[in-house]
Amino acid sequence: MQVILAPKFQRKYKKLHANQLPEINAAISAVVGNPSVGEQKKGDLYWLRVYKFKMVGQLTLLGYAIDDNGDIILTFVDVGPHENFYRDLKR
């Protein structure tokens, strides 16, 4: 399995505070351990899966895509609160 971090994801990950890192790292580990754990989206975002978790008491969404052509490629696309999460991904 190959894991790729999209530039948008990397920028948001770098801005996280030290108290947020253990929780997001646990969420990333959960997705890498079982890629089908997230909810498959429909419509415009059919290619996206979203894993929901709590980060410092706030519901946070971890968006990722799975490419299963031979070797599994897991691409982490975005992370953030629910507010405007899907709208920003459609752009």
Along the 91 residues of the chain, how does pLDDT read in single tens digits?
899 999 999 999 999 999 999 999 999 999 999 999 999 999 999 999 999 999 999 999 999 999 988 788 999 999 999 999 999 998 8
Q: Hey, where are the domains in the chain? A: 2-90
What's the pLDDT at 43? 94
Question: Closest Cα partner for 28 from 68, 55, 67?
Answer: 55
Task: Name, in order, each residue with C-beta under 8 angstroms of 76's C-beta and a sequence gap of 6 or more.
Answer: 3, 4, 5, 6, 9, 28, 31, 62, 63, 64
CA angle 87, 64, 47 (to 5 degrees): 70
Question: How far apart, in whole angstroms, are the C-alpha atoms of residue 58 and residue 60?
Answer: 6
Q: What is the CATH code for 2-90?
A: 3.30.2310.20
What's the pLDDT at 91? 81
Question: How far apart, in whole angstroms, are the C-alpha atoms of residue 89 and residue 1?
Answer: 24
What's the pLDDT at 53? 96
Length of the chain in residues, anyone? 91
In one letter, which amino acid is 13?
Answer: Y
